[in-house]
């Protein structure tokens, strides 16, 4: 029989990997796709500075890596919940950005990501932290 803590640990890893893949995909899109082509998928991209797009792409990449690597390598695993909190901040900024532009209907995905990142931060800090080597 699986203990509740082991189940939580597995659930956290699944969420961490899914979030990391999501943020890595967004990073690759923002950093490698030409702005006009990217704006077809995300119209806001064509209406802001390319520095904002590239900057958020770098943050996406670093955040995605931070969700997995410190815990997986067991090197400074406290960075994992900190990365999750950083991504909460990024997503809250994205929500505010879209609401200010009259695009509140586009924030559902961001809200789900915020909740998942809060779950990771809570789980990896309080309930199922990863021990360092």
C-alpha of 119 from chain center: 12
- How far the first Cα of the chain sits from its last, in Å, is 27
How far apart, in whole angstroms, are the C-alpha atoms of residue 112 and residue 54?
23
Task: Supply the pTM of this predicted model.
Answer: 0.96
Q: Please, where are the H alpha helices in 101-126?
A: 108-122
The residue ranges of every structural domain in the chain are 4-127
How far apart, in whole angstroms, are the C-alpha atoms of residue 26 and residue 64?
10
**pLDDT of the residue at 2:** 80
**pLDDT of the residue at 62:** 98
pLDDT means over runs of 10, the chain (133 residues): 91 98 98 98 96 98 98 98 98 98 97 98 97 95
Enter the tokens of residue 13.
Answer: 């890893």
**pLDDT of the residue at 83:** 98
Q: For Cα atoms 21, 24, 30, give the angle at the middle one, nearest 5 degrees.
A: 140
**pLDDT of the residue at 101:** 96
Exposure of 33 in the CB half-sphere (CA atoms within 13 A): 18
Selection from 88, 65, 85 nearest residue 126 by Cα: 85
C-alpha of 63 from chain center: 6
**pLDDT of the residue at 49:** 97
How far apart, in whole angstroms, are the C-alpha atoms of residue 70 and residue 47?
35
């Amino acid at each position: 029989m699986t203990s509740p803590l082991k189940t939580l640990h597995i659930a956290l890893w699944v969420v961490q990997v899914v979030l990391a893949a999501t943020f890595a995909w967004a990073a690759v899109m923002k950093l490698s796709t030409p702005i006009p082509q990217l704006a077809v998928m995300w119209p806001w991209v064509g209406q802001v500075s390319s520095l904002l797009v590239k900057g958020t792409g770098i943050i996406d990449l670093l955040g995605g890596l931070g969700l997995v690597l410190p815990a997986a390598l067991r090197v400074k695993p406290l960075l994992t919940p900190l990365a999750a909190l950083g991504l909460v901040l990024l997503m809250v900024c994205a929500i505010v950005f879209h609401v200010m532009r009259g695009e509140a209907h586009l924030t559902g995905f961001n809200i789900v990501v915020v909740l998942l990142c809060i779950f990771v931060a809570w789980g990896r800090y309080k309930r199922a932290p990863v021990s360092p080597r």
